[in-house]
Amino acid sequence: MYRTIPIAAFALLMMPSCVARGGGGNVVQSVKTVEVMPTEYINRDFAGMATADDAVNLAFKISGQIAACDVSKGDFVRRETLLASLDPRDVELQVASDRSQYEMARSQYERMKRLMEHEAVSRQEFEASEASFVRAKSTYENTKDLFSDTKLRAPFDGVIERVYVDVYQRVQAGETILRLVNPRSTTVEFTMPEKSLPLLSDTTTRFSVTFDNIPNRRFNARLHKYAKTSSDASGFPVALKISKTDSELYGISPGMTCQITMRSEEDDPQRLSVPLSAIYAPAMGGTFVWVVGGDNRVERRRVVLGDIFGRDMVVVISGLREGEKVVTAGVYKLQEGVEVKVIND
C-alpha cells in the first residue's frame, strides 16, 4: 500500500544538504566573501603583437630585367647571401659607351695640355677640355659601379617574407623585389587609450607580456618608445622591448599575439577595490555590494565605482571601509538581512 507524502514535505526532503537553517528557521545561504583592501596598484591589460626588429623591402638601384631570383618565401638567408640579380647586358653596354667617352675626353685633354705648354691654345679652350675630361671620368667610374648594383644581397640574417617579382620580369629602379624580416623579435607593440598615456612617464609603471602560445611564462618588458599623437583616433601606439635572451630561448617571432599587463601604483592610498563579481546591479538601477556583518547577516550597500582594472577588479570610490567583508558569489540570490555562512577555501 502506497503512502502519500505532502508536497511541502517532499520539497524539504529534496532540499540540498548544503543549505542550513538558522535558529529562527530561516534558510542560511552559503557564500564566499573577500575582505575589502586598499588598492596599492592597478593592472591594465592590452592586446598586442610581436613585431619585427629588422624588416626591409629590398630593391635594385637601377632598372633592368630579372635574370635570377634564387630564394623563395620562407627561406632563411644569411647576411650577404645573393638573393636576386639583373641581366648585366644593359649595364655592359652603358659601361662601354661611357668608357669610350672617357677615353676620347682624356685624349683631348692630353692634347690640349701639350698645346697649352707651347701657348698654342687659349686658357679657355684648355679649361673646357679639362672640365670635359673630369666629367667623363666621373661618369665612367660611376657606371662601373653599376655592376655591383645588378646584385641584390641580404643586409642581415633573416627570412624571406615575400617575393614580388618573377624571373625575366623587367623592373624599374626602386621597385620592391622582396621583403626580408628578422625571424626573432624583441619588440611588442600595442595601442593605449588617451587617459592612460600619462602613466607612461611614471617611473613606477611596470610592464609584463604573456604570449598566447606560451601562457605559463610571463616576460618582463621595458618601455621602448611611444607616439604622443594618434591620427586615426584608434589609440596611441606603444612599443615595448623584452630581452634578447628570452626572445631566442622561447622563439619569439613577429606576428605572435600576446597580452600586455601595465602595472601602476594607485595615486590615492585610501581608494579601495573589490572583484567585479561582488557588484550587485539590480534592474531598478544603482550599484551595490552585500556586506557581511558581525552577526553573519548581509546588508545591501550602495557604492560608487571607478575604473575597472586587471582581469576582474574594480575601484570603489565610496561606500565601503577597509576590512569589511563583501560577498563575491551569488549576489543576485541574496536579500536584505538574510543569514549567510561563509565557506571560503
Residue 115 burial class via C-beta count within 10 angstroms: exposed 0-12, middle 13-18, buried 19 and up = middle
What is the pLDDT, as a whole number, of residue 5?
Answer: 36
What is the pLDDT, as a whole number, of residue 219?
Answer: 95
Helix axes 89-117, 123-149, angle to 10 degrees: 160
* Element (DSSP H or E) covering residue 134: helix 123-149
Structural domains in the chain plus CATH codes:
7-39+269-342 (2.40.420.20), 44-53+184-265 (2.40.30.170), 55-87+150-181 (2.40.50.100), 89-149 (1.10.287.470)
What is the pLDDT, as a whole number, of residue 73?
Answer: 92
Look up residue 142 and give its three cell numbers.
660611376
Q: What is the DSSP-derived secondary structure letter of residue 339?
A: B
What is the pLDDT, as a whole number, of residue 10?
Answer: 32
What is the pLDDT, as a whole number, of residue 287?
Answer: 92
What is the pLDDT, as a whole number, of residue 269?
Answer: 61
> Considering only CA atoms, which of 315, 338, 289 is closest in space to residue 33?
289
Show the low-confidence residues of the chain (pLDDT under 50): 1-20
